[in-house]
Amino acid sequence: MAKTWLITGTSSGLGRELTEQLLKRGDRVAATLRRPERLAELAGDYPDTLWVGELDVTNGEQARTVVDRAWLDLGHIDVVVSNAGYGLFGAVEEVSDADIRRQIDTNVVGAVAFIKAAVPHLRAQGGGRVIQVSSMAGQMAAAGMSLYHLSKWAVEGFVEALHEELEPFDIHTCLVEPGSARTEFGGGSMVIGERLAAYDDTPAAKIRGRRERSRESIPGDPSKMATAIISAAEAPTLPRRLILGSDAHRLIVNSIHARLDEAYAQQHTAALTDADDYAPAASH
């Protein structure tokens, strides 16, 4: 049966791919984006199933209004996809305070505001699914990407907690963790801080070559990624995390292994700081 989706950041990349694939198979899509004119042609092709709303996710008031209007016009929305985002790169000394604020406003506060606006509607209709496009960068970290990691680790923690918080309302969440993909992410969308010569021969400088990466060296096919997200969203049980791309899988597994090894190694020393009369509650 056809489903209804609400998606942010549908002008290009994964959001656009999702929108096009869903419309093609007969689903309804409430597509939101900063510049609605970018979907004008698609709106002409799908006058009955494409609903378009203007949304800059950094505008909390606009998020509430657009989400409310989407529910009012469409009645029921099965899947909400918080996808809008971009990467701010450079060593921490190289990025401006304003750039840091914008990264967090978009990738973190924007995602939270959008999902927060959708939750009362999902609850009122008796449930639904929330998909947050995170990144492999939400499970590992590398020099020159600290602010992007900050934003994606933040949404990982947010959605991880929502999983338990919203389950009683039959609302289920999924964190999508793509690796590098052939979208605008590494091109026009990417923001890089001003070069500081001191970092030239350090690992943080590697990020500067990112814009020059050849297409063939980027593994992720956005079309296949969108198809995988749609399949996961429709599975009887929504996966809590969806890793997309061989690079993402390798880097996430390596990162988790390293953190797990370190955590196991501290099992005994961690307990040394427990109070002498500590009596663990049954649930801990």
Ligand X SMILES: NC(=O)c1ccc[n+]([C@@H]2O[C@H](COP(=O)([O-])OP(=O)(O)OC[C@H]3O[C@@H](n4cnc5c(N)ncnc54)[C@H](OP(=O)(O)O)[C@@H]3O)[C@@H](O)[C@H]2O)c1
What amino acid positions are annotated as catalytic residues? 134, 148, 152
**What CA–CA distances, in Å, run from 63 to 8, 33, 98, 279?**
10, 11, 22, 46
* 3-state secondary structure at position 99: helix
Q: Is 184 in the site for ligand X (CB under 6 A)?
A: yes
Neighbouring-strand partners of residue 244: 178
Of 186, 224, 239, the C-alpha closest to 18 is 224
Residue 137 Cβ vs ligand X, minimum distance, rounded to whole Å:
6
CA–CA dist 119, 128 (Å, integer): 9
Q: Is 85 in the site for ligand X (CB under 6 A)?
A: yes
Closer Cβ to ligand X, 231 or 266, answer by number? 231
Choose which of 49, 65, 125, 189 interacts with ligand X (CB under 6 A). 189
Q: Is 86 in the site for ligand X (CB under 6 A)?
A: yes
Q: Is 180 in the site for ligand X (CB under 6 A)?
A: yes
Residue 138 Cβ vs ligand X, minimum distance, rounded to whole Å:
8
| 220's tokens | 């992720």
Q: Is 114 in the site for ligand X (CB under 6 A)?
A: no
Q: Is 158 exposed, middle or buried (0-12, 13-18, 19+ CB in 10 A)?
A: middle
Of 40, 29, 33, the C-alpha closest to 11 is 33
Q: Which stretch binds ligand X (CB under 6 A): 42-50, 183-191, 209-217, 258-266?
A: 183-191
Q: How many residues bind ligand X (CB under 6 A)?
A: 31
Find all residues with CB under 8 Å of 173, minimum gap 6, and list them.
129, 130, 131, 132, 159, 162, 163, 166, 238, 240
Q: Which residue is nearest to ligand X (CB)?
A: 13
Q: Which stretch binds ligand X (CB under 6 A): 20-28, 54-62, 197-205, 250-258?
A: 54-62
Choose which of 4, 11, 19, 62 interacts with ligand X (CB under 6 A). 11
Q: Which stretch binds ligand X (CB under 6 A): 19-27, 69-77, 173-181, 202-210?
A: 173-181
Q: Is 144 in the site for ligand X (CB under 6 A)?
A: no
CA–CA dist 14, 16 (Å, integer): 5
Choose which of 30, 50, 52, 57 interacts with ligand X (CB under 6 A). 57
Q: Is 19 in the site for ligand X (CB under 6 A)?
A: no
CA–CA dist 242, 225 (Å, integer): 10
Residue entry with tokens 């090894």? 261
Q: Which stretch binds ligand X (CB under 6 A): 22-30, 174-182, 202-210, 231-239?
A: 174-182
Instruction: State the residues that interact with ligand X by CB under 6 A.
Output: 8-15, 33-35, 55-58, 83-86, 106, 110, 133, 135, 178, 180-181, 183-186, 189
